Amino acid sequence: MFGYIITNAESLPKERQERFRGFYCGLCRRLRLRYGLVGSTTLSFDMTFLAVLLNALYEPDETEACERCVPHPFKAHDYVDTEVMDYVADMNVALAYHKCLDNWLDDRSVLSLSEAKLLKSAYRKVSGLYPQKCAAIERWLDDIHVMERSGLQAIDPPVNATGRLLGELFVYRDDVWADTLREVGDGLGRFIYLMDAWDDLPEDMKRKRYNPLKGYARRADYDAFCQSALMLSVADATRAFELLPIVRDADILRNILYSGVWSKYALIRNKRESGKKEKEHAGSL
């Protein structure tokens, strides 16, 4: 799960794409400074979006600089640093830690268990700083595991639970913008869970793993149903976003919300349609 909140590079000018990349590198740098190299391996585009969003809303002072790093030792790259990075890095680590534990429970992935052990002390630090946020993540995973064990074949409960979780993590301060940020995160959280389930369904059916969309896949309007649900989730997020008084980097954020989030959807759908046509062609020979 996660990794669907990205830019549409084709419709974003190069200099603006580089601006987003500066936040991506800035978050990577902050993860490394706070939690070492293992912290930087948890970097995600979803949390980069949150960094851009919070920075745009609260407009703190920024530092723009250039450096080499372990992943890019030969060529220096620009990065953006801002006070929101610590919070976003901490939420990134907390999510990554529990994602590794979830992978271990679901697939008995030894690699994920090893990564979780490496992140344990980092998560303990985050939990001490943000006990309510970490408790929300733990409750969310507990709820998801209960649904999985029961074999629940209804999409709304896990989708809504993930929306509530990301909504909580999007709230940086308890202020006038908290509820609106929560709505942005809620819509994106629902989109992420549904996209992940839709993306994984063929493999989950093949490997007989839990996926709440299995019962819907037999519907004649399955694809249209999923697309409509995805569109409604993003619409809720964008509707809330437009209530925020954002000027800085608004073009990047809109690129992601109105276009970028659909990049992987289009890629996956085109690949599936191409595969279907190839099978139909082979069957006609």
State yes or no: pLDDT of 1 exceeds 60: no
Range of the domain at 227: 151-244
Domains held by the chain: number: 1
The token duo for 181 is 């940020």
Q: Give the pLDDT confidence score for residue 169 in this predicted structure.
A: 97
Mean pLDDT of 272-278: 73
Which DSSP state fits 260? G
The token duo for 41 is 């391996």
Across the strands, what pairs with 81? 63
SS3 66: strand
SS3 190: helix
One-character DSSP codes across 7-51: --GGGS-HHHHHHHHHHHHHHHHHHHHHHHHHHHTT--HHHHHHH
> Residues of the chain with pLDDT > 70: what percent?
95
Q: Is residue 195 included in any domain, yes or no? A: yes
CB contact set of 136 (below 8 Å; sequence gap of 6+): 164, 165, 168, 169
pTM of the complete model: 0.93
Q: Is residue 209 included in any domain, yes or no? A: yes
Q: Is residue 113 included in any domain, yes or no? A: no
Q: Is the dihedral of CA 205, 211, 213, 219 positive or negative?
A: positive
State yes or no: pLDDT of 272 exceeds 90: no
CB contact set of 29 (below 8 Å; sequence gap of 6+): 40, 67, 69, 79, 81
Q: Is residue 215 included in any domain, yes or no? A: yes
Confidence of residue 249 (pLDDT cuts 50, 70, 90): very high
Q: Is residue 234 included in any domain, yes or no? A: yes
State yes or no: pLDDT of 190 exceeds 60: yes
Q: Give the pLDDT confidence score for residue 282 in this predicted structure.
A: 59
Q: Is residue 107 included in any domain, yes or no? A: no
> Residues of the chain with pLDDT > 90: what percent?
80
- In this structure, which amino acid lies at residue 117? K
- Determine contact, residues 201/211, Cβ cutoff 8 Å: yes
State yes or no: pLDDT of 117 exceeds 60: yes
One-character DSSP codes across 155-179: SHHHHHHHHHHHHHHH--SSSTTHH
Q: Is residue 88 included in any domain, yes or no? A: no
State yes or no: pLDDT of 276 exceeds 90: no
Q: Using alpha carbons, select from 159, 149, 155 the residue that is nearest to residue 209.
A: 149
Confidence of residue 283 (pLDDT cuts 50, 70, 90): low
Among 136-145, 176-185, 199-208, 273-282, the minimum mean pLDDT is found in 273-282
Confidence of residue 54 (pLDDT cuts 50, 70, 90): very high
Among 3-17, 40-54, 261-275, the minimum mean pLDDT is found in 261-275
Q: Is residue 77 included in any domain, yes or no? A: no
Tell me the C-alpha distance between 263 and 256, whole Å. Answer: 9
Average pLDDT, the chain: 92
Q: Give the pLDDT confidence score for residue 70 in this predicted structure.
A: 72
State yes or no: pLDDT of 73 exceeds 80: no
Count of Cβ atoms closer than 10 Å to residue 168 Cβ: 21
Write b or e for each residue in 86-103: b if 16 or more Cβ atoms lie within 10 A of its Cβ, otherwise e: ebbbbbbbbbbbbbbbbb
